[in-house]
Amino acid sequence: MIIVGITGGIGSGKTTVAKMFNKHFGIPLYLADTEAKTLMQTSKPIKEELTALFGEAAYINGVLNRTYLAEQIFSDKSKLEKMNAIIHPRVAQHFLDWANQQHAPYVLKEAAILFESGSYKQCDFIITVTAPLKVRIARLLERDETTEEKIMTIIENQWSDERKIARSDFVINNLTIKETEAQVVETHAKILTLIE
């Protein structure tokens, strides 16, 4: 199975772009961040390891305490690394199991930290979705209950667009729906040409 990774900084619209490939061309789409959250909630080994790492407060009545975990990992980088070491290998395996059941020219793996987590190594091609910083911040302030300060903290913890682009095969600049869809059509055609 040909694996195409799709990533981009927070607020770039990578999920929106990934869904366009699915909508227009039926390309199977794996949303790594969504699946990671599901596994953190449903996998007994993950729950046990996270509780061992963060204490009983990691789950309240069996439900993942996201606010508490976010506070823990933002104040302590080593805890973030330990949490990632628990989750990323399992998401990577879950993805491969899923990908092997798909029937399509290629599959898309959408992940915010595709490079940072090392999961780019699973991919045959990589698409980076970009948007100007001001646009990204405006989107996030509209979408989430957050502050510009919190957004910048997340952005500073992610690879820069320049660093991602240097390792990517395709770049989609996501400003307007119409322009983005045209780039999706063009990128899909190029991928098909490369894998034939």
DSSP 124: S
Spatial neighbors of 151 by CB under 8 A, at least 6 apart, are 10, 11, 136, 137, 140, 141
Contact call for residues 20 and 184 (beta carbons, < 8 A): yes
13 a known binding residue?
Answer: yes
Tokens standing for residue 45: 């080994």
The torsion angles phi and psi of 168, rounded to 5 degrees, stand at: -105, 155
193 a known binding residue?
Answer: no
16 a known binding residue?
Answer: yes
Tokens standing for residue 26: 């039926």
| 105/192 Cα distance (integer angstroms) | 7
Count Cβ atoms within 10 A of the Cβ of residue 13 and give its class: 0-12 exposed, 13-18 middle, 19 or more buried. buried
Residues 188, 165, 13, 134: is their CA dihedral positive or negative?
A: negative
67 a known binding residue?
Answer: no
| 28/105 Cα distance (integer angstroms) | 9
Tokens standing for residue 44: 């007994």
Residue ranges of the annotated binding site are 11-16
Residue ranges of the annotated binding site for ATP are 11-16
